[in-house]
Amino acid sequence: MLLAGGALVAWRLLGGGDDVDPSATLAVLDQLDRDIELDDTRYAYLGDRCQLIDLDGVLDLLPAGADGDTDEAELSQYAVVQGNLVDPVVYGCSEGFERFVGFTFGHAPDGGHRQYLQRTVADFGTITVEGEAAVRGGTLYWFCVETDDYRSCGADWSDGQVQLSLYGSELDADEAAEWMRAALTDLLEQTGELDPDRIRVEEF
C-alpha cells in the first residue's frame, strides 16, 4: 500500500531500521592508517578525484530543496588529523571552493564526540551543535561551523568505532542531518568495499 510504503520511507529517514555493521569499514581504516603517511602539518594529498565513495551518487541523496551545487568541479581527496595530535586521521573528499560539499570518514575519537567536534575547529572558528539523536546503532550530530571566511553545516554519525561526516556550504544543519540519515547505509557499504591499495599519497 502507498501509505505503508510512505510511512516506511519516513521511518527510515527519521533513523528507524536495524543497527548497521561498520566492521568492513573498520578493516579498511586500519589498513589506510598503516599505509598513509601524513606530512608535518598532519595532512596528505590523495589526488584530484574521489575514490573513497561515489560522491555524485551520495549528492543524489540530498533532501528535496537542499542546495548541493558547488562553484568548481575540482575535487580533492585527502587525509588529515583534525583536533589534537592523538585524534584519529580522517579521510575525505571535497568538491568546490567558496561553494563546497564534502565527506569524511575515520576511526571514532576517544572521549565524547561533541568535545571532538569542538577540537576540530578550535584553531580557526566556532561550531554550534544543533542536535543529536540515536540512529541505527550510533549517534547522529548535526551542526554549523562559522569562520572568518565561510559558514557551513554538516552532520556526523558515530557508533564509537567509526565516524562519518557529510557537510556543505549551502546547507543548514537540519538538511545535513536528513542527508546523513538517507546516506548512512550507502556510506558504510561503499567505504567497506573500498580497496585501500588504490589510495596513495600524491604530489599536490
Percent of the chain at pLDDT exceeding 90 = 81
**By the 8 A CB rule, do 158 and 164 touch?**
yes
* Helix, strand, coil percentages in the chain from 3-state DSSP, rounded to 5: 30, 30, 40
Mean pLDDT of 137-154: 95
How many other C-beta atoms lie within 10 A of the C-beta of residue 117? 22
Mean pLDDT of 46-66: 96
Res 165 pLDDT > 60: yes
Res 150 pLDDT > 80: yes
Res 13 pLDDT > 60: no
Res 64 pLDDT > 70: yes
Q: Amino acid identity of 55? A: L
The per-residue pLDDT for 17 is 61
Q: What is the pTM of this model?
A: 0.89
Res 51 pLDDT > 90: yes
Residue 119 or residue 11, greater confidence: 119
The per-residue pLDDT for 174 is 98
Res 87 pLDDT > 70: yes
The per-residue pLDDT for 1 is 28
Mean pLDDT of 24-50: 97
Residue 142 — very low, low, confident or very high, per pLDDT cuts 50/70/90? very high
Mean pLDDT of 105-123: 94
Residue 163 — very low, low, confident or very high, per pLDDT cuts 50/70/90? very high
Q: Mind spelling out the 3-state secondary structure of 144-173? A: EEEECCCEEEEEEEECCCEEEEEEECCCCH
Spatial separation of the C-alpha atoms in residues 116 and 41, rounded to whole Å: 19
> Read out DSSP for 38-74?
P-TTSEEE--SS--SS-HHHHHTTSPTT-----S---
Res 12 pLDDT > 50: no
Q: Which residue has the cell 589506510?
A: 32
